[in-house]
A and B are shown apart, each in its own frame.
Chain A
Amino acid sequence: DGGITQSPKYLFRKEGQNVTLSCEQNLNHDAMYWYRQDPGQGLRLIYYSQIVNDFQKGDIAEGYSVSREKKESFPLTVTSAQKNPTAFYLCASSIAGFSNQPQHFGDGTRLSIL
């Protein structure tokens, strides 16, 4: 079955530590996205990528970094510069170039501070 796999499901970060969240998709989608979800708030866009080796900052990119070396993979690194990283992180993908195509989401990674 095609889908989006995020790992790990739960992640704990120590102060001053960088952590990387994995996102892999086998839907053959060109576009991939990272969102952050906090209680009582909507999904906020961190980074997005329309094609391999290219990505753009979203609305809340500070303290985060990404790479897109392969079509299937879009890992997100939460750096020590992100002072409030506790949140639910969602990765999504979609067919690029068609505005009616929905984004498909992974099951998310819940990040907490130790």
Chain B
Amino acid sequence: GQNIDQPTEMTATEGAIVQINCTYQTSGFNGLFWYQQHAGEAPTFLSYNVLDGLEEKGRFSSFLSRSKGYSYLLLKELQMKDSASYLCAVRDDYKLSFGAGTTVTVRA
């Protein structure tokens, strides 16, 4: 089976940094994805990790440790538009298994 855990909610101030953790226990592993989803909208792709280490894309970075079954998404220089749900998803063969998502609220 698949077990993917993320915190339910996080709050941070505009301009700050927030780190969203994701731990997983899955029967197979072919990579980990992070998606952003604004309320009532479609998820949009943020990042992909398959090897250990840090991937940086502008204000967003994602880290993976396969031996620990652990990933995090780092959001820097937070903006109000970053208020959204962030979904961690693990790929196993052809399928993605999603965590429940972390709702990030950015306050002025």
Q: Could you give 21 example pairs across A and B, Cβ below 8 Å? A: A31-B94, A33-B96, A35-B98, A42-B4, A43-B43, A43-B89, A43-B96, A43-B98, A44-B98, A48-B94, A48-B95, A50-B94, A90-B42, A90-B43, A100-B50, A103-B45, A104-B45, A105-B43, A106-B42, A107-B41, A107-B42
Cross-chain contact of A102 among B8, B45, B94, B101 (Cβ < 8 A): B45
The answer to the question of A58 belonging to the interface, with a C-beta cut-off of 8 Å to chain B, is yes
Number of B positions contacting A (CB below 8 A): 24
Cross-chain contact of B100 among A33, A41, A58 (Cβ < 8 A): A41
Please determine whether A105 and B31 come into contact, CB atoms closer than 8 angstroms.
no
Cross-chain contact of A99 among B31, B42, B89 (Cβ < 8 A): B31
Residues of A within 8 A of B (CB): 31, 33, 35, 40-45, 48, 50, 58, 88, 90, 96, 99-100, 102-108
Please determine whether A42 and B99 come into contact, CB atoms closer than 8 angstroms.
yes
A72 to chain B, nearest CB (A): 18
Cross-chain contact of A40 among B33, B41, B94, B100 (Cβ < 8 A): B100
Q: Interface centre among A41, A44, A45, A103, by most B CB within 10 Å?
A: A103
